Amino acid sequence: MRAFCAPKETEHDVADTLPQLTLYNTLSRSKEPFEPIDKDNVRMYVCGPTVYDYAHIGNARPVIVFDVLFRLLRHIYGEDKVTYVRNITDVDDKINKRALETHGDAIAAGTMSLNEAIREVTEKTAAQYQSDMKALGCLEPTHQPRATEFVLPREDGKSDMVSMIQTLLDKGHAYIAKGAQGREVLFRVNSMEDYGKLSNRKLEDQQAGARIAVESHKENVGDFVLWKESNANEPGWDGVFDGETIHGRPGWHIECSAMSDAYLGETFDIHGGGLDLIFPHHENEIAQSRCCHGTDKMANVWMHNGFLEVEGEKMSKSLGNFVTVRDEMRGTSQSERRNMVRPPRSGSVMRISMLDTHYRQPINWTTERLNQIEDDLEDWVKMLKRIRPKGFQFNDPQNQIPSNELLNALMDDLNTPLAMSVIRRNQKEARKNEKAFKEFFGNIAFLGLINFDRLDGYLKDVSFDGMVGIKYRDEFANAWALKIGHLNDDHKLIDSIEKQWKADGIALNLTKSLEVTLRKKSADGDFDEIGDLVAKRQKFIEDKNWAEADRIRDELLEQGIQLKDGKDPETGERITTWEVKR
């Protein structure tokens, strides 16, 4: 999906017309005025996916939420003055195991590195993630570093995990201990006075509430792994700590500390993610980064989006309601997901559904709500096509500027429900005056809600030419799925439908904007409309080829199309009309 941004303005031009941006800071449990450390370099980090499997719809929520914030910050401070980093986690025991099973011999022979093996086994899921997020209307972050690229010291001098761990050892914030599964480098939580501030957990409460005894090699039950030794059957990297080589892999939390430092520095403006990451992940990120760098803060503002339920229940594979972004875009059948028959959805429908709820509130992801949004979106597109002012260009940046009313809503801790209500009111008023139309368009463009190059793709209308409409009237669902496939750039779905249609003798006419027309294939390999067939039959009659003329007449009759031969009352020439046989 295309990205839409307002024309470049200076930060002073924009700031002078807007209220103060306020954001809810989990660290202070309050909404605060946002003031960047450097207005010429506003910096944001968001925890990205683990690419072991396809992203589920819960994974999509923070991507959409912080995409809106990214757009807003770019609008306020300038497109080239905001740096957004979203990592890709490809350091994971399941991924490592898959890499070893697939490429173990090559790794052992030295013809493939572990990083190369991991890249190969995660390429498909990583590529699908990028495709999914693009279909959801999200801009690409400035940087998307992979964790595997930041395990060992780098030639470019950017921060890495092994070096950070050694610094923590040097400063007394970490120690090496041998447990039942080998050596570990552990973070010493007692070395940080205010550990637990983000999650509002006191260290002594964690100790008192521990359900199991402290592992013998740990000084404290809360001490967490920075590096873990691999056994003989597990892949890993050679990390050197206090002169001791430990073949192993990093803990989960250290990767984000290294990658945020590499691109944003020791202290930056905003760190985002889901509520489930507050503890332990974000709490431990803060501990590692602050103790390594000797800073008071890792990020000034910590933002967290709420949870997502499906049809009123927690999303779970065991409940049969686990839905990936890919599933939602393609649709799922009863056999694929227990009790989860779902039609295909455009990324726009999913994006609007997310933004209709404030990012800090829980979302109930329901088919009923998605159906309503789909209908609303179709109305929007019909209106855009019908009352578009003469000369109005969708791709003109001057037409993609958001209204102050929409911006005012977003400046209040990303109040997207209020912003969406502004858009819906714009849409009603747009039927009456051109100013409201332009505001409506500018607002949906700014929020990335519609792909304006493919407007017809949102319309359920499908033209079934002549007899195709009779014989293949049940193909509507596939035609709609095909349009959604093109909107979401889902080439596998597109190929499967077109392959089926080719076998059934149906051809597709598809305009650039995704207006769909279906036609039936004739015996000579061409795709004929009824008018074409009538003309062919007329030629056969003129040539006295009665057999071929009768064949066309009979074939059409089988499809429910009855031909009527007669004479033109003015010219006396033979003419043929047709009607659908009842």
Q: What is the mean pLDDT of residues 154-176?
A: 98
Which part of the chain has CATH 3.40.50.620?
Answer: 37-305
Nearest Cα to Cα of residue 271 among 295, 293, 300, 251? 300
Q: pTM of the predicted model, to two decimals?
A: 0.86
Over residues 473-525, the pLDDT tens digits come to: 678 888 889 999 999 999 888 998 888 888 887 877 788 889 888 877 655 44
Measured in degrees and rounded to the nearest 5, phi and psi for residue 67 equal -65, -40
- The distance of Cα 5 from the centroid of its chain, to the nearest Å, equals 18
Q: Give the pairing type, strands 516-521 and 506-510.
A: antiparallel
Q: Any idea which of 200-204, 211-215, 349-353, 437-441 has the lowest mean pLDDT?
A: 211-215
Cα separation, 107 vs 105, in Å, equals: 5
Segment among 197-211, 234-248, 252-266, 468-482 with least mean pLDDT: 197-211
Q: Is residue 64 pLDDT above 70, yes or no?
A: yes
Please calculate the CA angle 87-93-94 and round it to the nearest 5 degrees. 95
- At what angle are helices 283-293 and 254-264 packed, to 10 degrees? 60
Residue 23 has pLDDT above 90, yes or no: yes
**Over residues 550-561, mean pLDDT:** 80
Kindly report whether the peptide bond that precedes residue 36 is cis, defined as omega within 30 degrees of 0: no
Task: Give pLDDT, residue 581.
Answer: 63
Say if residues 487 and 135 touch (Cβ distance below 8 Å): yes
What is the mean predicted confidence (pLDDT) over 248-261? 96
pLDDT tens across 343-386, in order? Answer: 899 999 999 999 999 999 999 999 999 999 999 999 999 999 99
What's the CATH architecture for 37-305?
A: 3-Layer(aba) Sandwich (3.40)
Structure tokens at 256: 């984000």
Q: Is the pLDDT of residue 211 over 90?
A: no
